[in-house]
Structure 1
Amino acid sequence: MIRKSNWPLALCAGLLGIGQNGLLVVLPQMVAMTGLSLSTWAGLLLFGSMLFLPASPWWGKVSEEKGCKWVVVTSLIGYLLSFCLMGLVVWLMAEKTIGLGLGLSGLVISRVIYGLTVSGMVPAAQTWAMQRAGTDQRMQALATISSGLSCGRLLGPPLAALTLSIHPTAPLWLMAIAPVVGLLLIYGQYNDPPLQAITHQSARMNRGLLPFLCLAALLAASISLMQIGLSPMLSGFISTPSAISHHVAWLLSLAAASTLLAQFLIVRPQRLSVKPLLLVAAILMSVGLSVMVTGQLLSLYVGIAVTSFGAAMATPAYQLLLNQKLSLGKGAGLIATSHTLGYGLSALLVPFITWLSGQHHLLAGACIASLIFLVITCGLGFTTHSQRAR
């Protein structure tokens, strides 16, 4: 029997969220067990993520040629192998069986496997879901995959913290075992054929796509700056590190819950068409970050909820607009690449903003990025109306 549900695909995308946020929880333990510095581990994690830049567009092309099922299965196998290797290397380094040089080499290889394979997961899952949903239900399909990713990011930290009580490397083995569940679910899924290209849809990159890719990069940069800027902002009126960590955890949990709420209440039911959805999302992001910049505890909670709600609406909106101009697989790959570029831009902006005006202004940088996002969104609407007038 052919199964057409997109929730198995959402679960596979959620594994990526579990891995991303779960690693952050076990980072102090991995530093202690391996003897590698925190900056070295941060570089390893960033290295794996930056490999998404060349790999995501390529996987988007492969998903159109070989089918999305092949890409998702390959990504799950790569996910399994990378965390198995990481768990093994960390354990051997903790037992002093291998030295720093050999251990670091093994960790680099594990991140190469991760970056070059797992980078295909979300673009392929999104493309596959849209193929199943058909042209009229693409927004709902994207929301389903985004919901799975959000759930993974929400569940990753508590699952990692829970398994830490068993053994310091237990979270890594949990992340290695999780893809087996995904493989079992995907095995019975039908590999849907690609949808025929819609009107004006292209197979190649062109300058008309740049505004949508800029939106994706700006959203990722603003959200990343917002998250990094929470601790410095809280330190302005909260003295103890434990209390700051407590509030950061609650703020990030609220952000994840707000994201899910937007996906289930607005995006999945398709209550707004694409362009109004993008405009409302841009306004909410700008308003939310403007509220957060005021620096009060209540304003941080209100602002992060509003910002996350808007960001959850924005992502499917600009992806659907891009897919009107570019084939599904390549569009999903380019969006993933733009998100990675946005995170990289954020990493560059953090030291610059800190040097220029201090850590307390990181949220202001996020707010400026959201305002640029709003300007580009308004520009897209104006361009469309001008073209219609002609």
Structure 2
Amino acid sequence: MNGSKRNASTLQHSILLMAVAATALGQTLVFTLLPSLGRATGMAEMEVGLIISCSSLIFALASPVWGTVSESLGRKSVLVIGLTGYSVGTLLFGLVFHAGLNGWITGAVLVAGLVLSRMLQAAIMAATPAAAAAYTADITTPEQRTQGMGRIGAANNLGTVIGPVSGGVLAAVSLVFPLYAVSVITGLMAITTAMFLPPSPQVRSQRTMNLRQTLKKGLGAYADPRLRDLLMTGVMLFMSFALIQQTLGFLFQDHFHMSPQDSARTLGLTMMAAAITSLSGQIIVVQWLRAPAVLLIAMAVPAIGAGAVLLWVVESQLLMSAAVLLVGLGLGFGMPAIMSLASLRVSHEEQGRVAGLASACPALGFILGPLVGTGLYTLDHRWPYLLVMALMLPLSLLAWRLVRRS
């Protein structure tokens, strides 16, 4: 009997982590390719940033709503919906870019098509991270919560490792081909989840809510005073990452005179190395050493700050890449800590809504990060990294308050 339970638990964790990894793979691949795809279709830097910012806004609004829906519809169903939406949305996004690369649509029509397709995708794929985090809360005890969320973070980083390198390889076929590959991968993952993932052990809410009530309850998580400091910390962590990630591809092209294809490959390898660093940190510090969540946040801030300082001052591609490794390490510490602390502050009945809120932190950071970063980049190539350095001041204060509170 114990063996059967252990096998069921292993299957749960494996499929859940594969779903998270597949989504992260697609996200990182898209972020890596966007600067090159944008340049290849004649888009300005801020237009590329607009795509990410608009879709991130929709994701941030949808994420806690999907978390709320998972409390009555079930985590598994919401996971399948999110993966299916990601697959179909990525296919649509790739088709619009394909039309732009062939000159069938250009200018404002192309930008509008890309923004709208990405926003539609974000509205549905926001279901996946929220349901995955809530499912993890359902199958872990409070004592296991940080390690459980750490596994979600590790799966996310695994996808982040595979995404850039696979994108760089597949881009050799064509710049848009990796998007089609992601559509197929997430589609297969949706089928796998529907067929083999056991239902979550959660006790589903029996209360039926209409759309207005669901939206009110889900979006109400943003006003919850118990989570305000965690939300602000998570948003600034991911905004810092967005400022760096969305400008580095342009910096490689302009500073080192790379072609769009070479830049995509170089940025992909750099982001892959950062993800490996983040994954290693999570395995050693979160899983093996079992560091408490507040310590992880306290370690995240100086790592990201040091990376920003390096990007501000260095001229070498190798040192720039080393700076991104530090940023990746900091993000790897911060992400599971935010998710764990948020989960532990609420009751079991609120896990879905709060998981959605915690999952929205990356999207909230990517609302302003790409747009502000690309705007600053047009003024001076190093100004985005100066802004990251400035963000470390309020982040340090928030981290200090979290440590005191705990």
* TM-score relative to the length of structure 1: 0.81
Q: 1:225 pairs with 238, 243, 253, which one?
A: 243
* Structure 1 spans left out of the alignment, 5+ residues: 197-202, 385-390
* Unmatched segments (≥5 aa) in structure 2: 205-219
SS at match of 1:241: coil
- 1:95-244 alignment runs, 5 A limit: 110-166=117-173, 169-186=176-193, 187-194=195-202, 205-228=223-246, 230=248, 239-241=256-258
> How far off its partner does 1:128 sit?
0.8
Report the equivalent of 2:331: 311
Structure 1 residues 268 and 195, CA gap change in structure 2 (3 angstroms): farther
* Residue in structure 2 matched with residue 71 of structure 1 by the alignment: 78
Select which of 273, 280, 303 maps to 1:254: 273
Deviation at 1:56, TM superposition (A): 0.5
Q: Deviations over 1:298-327 (max 9, x none)?
A: 653443323322221111112222222233
2:320 and 2:57 mapped to 1: Cα distance? 30
Deviates more, 1:115-124 or 1:90-99: 90-99
- Structure 2 counterpart SS, 1:133: coil
**Residue 91 and residue 299 in structure 1: after superposition, are their counterparts in 2 closer, same or farther (change >3 A)?**
closer
Q: What SS does the aligned partner of 2:314 have?
A: coil
1:359 is the counterpart of 2:381: yes
Counterparts in 2 of 1:172 and 1:207: CA distance versus 1, 3 Å? same
Preserved contact between residue 150 and residue 287 of structure 2 (Cα < 8 Å): yes
Give the Å deviation of 1:52.
0.4
Q: How many residues align?
A: 375
1:80 is aligned, of 87, 94, 111, to 87
Q: Does 1:4 align with 2:9?
A: yes
2:236 alignment partner AA: L
Higher mean C-alpha deviation, range 347-356 or range 268-277: 347-356
Alignment of 1:345 with 2:368, yes or no, is yes
Amino acid at match of 1:359: H
Q: Which moved more, 1:266-275 or 1:309-318?
A: 266-275
1:112 Cα offset (Å): 3.9
Q: Distance in 2 between matches of 1:364 and 1:324?
A: 34
Q: Is the 8 A contact 1:263 1:312 kept in 2?
A: yes
Partner-residue secondary structure (3-state), 1:4: helix
Aligned Cα RMSD in Å? 3.7
Is contact 1:228–1:362 with CA below 8 Å preserved after alignment? no
* Correspondence for 2:352: 329
For each residue in 1:53-85, what CA deviation from the matched residue of structure 2 results, as whole angstroms up to 9, or x when unmatched?
210010111122222101100011112222333
- AA matched with 2:158: C
Report the residue type matching 1:241 in the other structure: M
Offset at 1:22? 2.5
Partner of 2:213: none
CA distance in 2, matches of 1:125, 1:69: 8
Q: Is the 8 A contact 2:87 2:183 kept in 1?
A: yes
Q: 1:344 to 1:269 in 2, by over 3 A?
A: same
* Amino acid aligned to 1:211: D
Greater Cα shift, 316-325 or 301-310: 301-310
Q: Is the 8 A contact 2:83 2:125 kept in 1?
A: yes
Q: Is the 8 A contact 2:131 2:352 kept in 1?
A: yes
- Deviation for aligned residue 1:124: 1.0
Higher RCO, Cα 8 Å, sep 6+: 2
Q: 1:193 Cα deviation (Å)?
A: 2.6
| CA 1:99–1:333: 2 relative to 1, 3 Å | same
Q: 1:368 aligns with which of 366, 390, 398?
A: 390
Aligned to 1:388: none
Residues 1:275 and 2:294 are matched in the alignment:
yes
Please tell me whether the aligned partners of residues 277 and 317 of structure 1 are also in contact (alpha carbons under 8 angstroms): yes
Partners of 1:293 and 1:310 in 2: CA distance = 17
- Counterpart of 1:152, as a letter, is G
CA distance in 2, matches of 1:45, 1:137: 34
How far residue 101 of structure 1 moved from its aligned partner, in angstroms, is 9.5
Q: Is the 1:89–1:107 Cα contact (8 Å) retained in structure 2?
A: yes
Output the CA distance in 2 between the equivalents of 1:173 and 1:121: 19
Distance 1:166 1:28 in 2: 17
**Residue 174 and residue 302 in structure 1: after superposition, are their counterparts in 2 closer, same or farther (change >3 A)?**
closer
The residue type equivalent to 1:51 in the other structure is I
8 Å Cα contact 1:50/1:340 also seen in 2: yes
* Aligned-residue offset at 1:362: 2.1
For residues 12 and 325 of structure 1, do their structure 2 counterparts lie closer, same or farther at Cα, with a shift above 3 Å needed? same
| Deviation at residue 147 of structure 1 after TM alignment | 1.9
